[in-house]
Amino acid sequence: MLRKRLVTVLTFNDGVLFRTKEFQPDYRYTLNFVDAWAVDEIVVLDVTRPGTGDRENFYGVVELFSERCFVPLSAGGGVRNIEDFRRLLNLGADKVVINTAALERPEFISEAAALYGAQCVVVSMDAKKKERGDYEVYSHFGARPTGQSPAGWAKRAEELGAGEIFVTAIDRDGSLEGYDNELNRLVSEAVKIPVLVCGGAGNWQHFVDGFVQGKAAAVCTACIYHFTDTSIRSAKKYLATAGIPVRTA
* pLDDT for the residue numbered 29: 53
Contact (CB, 8 A) for 224 and 9? no
* pLDDT for the residue numbered 20: 66
Percent of the chain with pLDDT over 90: 73
Length of the chain: 249
pLDDT tens, position by position, 23-39: 565 555 544 444 445 78
Mean pLDDT taken over the chain: 90
Instruction: Taking residues 71-81, report their average pLDDT.
Output: 96
Query: Is residue 137 exposed (0-12), middle (13-18) or buried (19+ Cβ within 10 Å)?
Result: buried
Query: How far is it, in rounded angstroms, from Cα 99 to Cα 40?
Result: 22
* pLDDT for the residue numbered 16: 86
Distance in angstroms between the alpha carbons of the first and the last residue of the chain: 17
At a CB cut-off of 8 Å and minimum separation 6, what does 140 contact? 100
The answer to whether residue 97 scores a pLDDT higher than 80 is yes
State phi, psi for 205 to the nearest 5 degrees.
-65, -30
Query: How far is it, in rounded angstroms, from Cα 215 to Cα 104?
Result: 28
At a CB cut-off of 8 Å and minimum separation 6, what does 131 contact? none
pLDDT tens, position by position, 157-184: 999 999 999 999 999 987 889 999 999 9
Domains annotated on the chain, with CATH? 5-241 (3.20.20.70)
The answer to whether residue 104 scores a pLDDT higher than 70 is yes
Contact (CB, 8 A) for 151 and 190? yes
- Looking at residue 150, its amino acid is P
H or E element that contains 214: none
Calculate helix-pair angle for 181-190, 204-212, nearest 10 degrees: 40
| 230 against 155, higher pLDDT | 155
* DSSP 8-state class, residue 78: S
| 107 against 21, higher pLDDT | 107
pLDDT tens, position by position, 118-133: 999 999 999 999 988 9
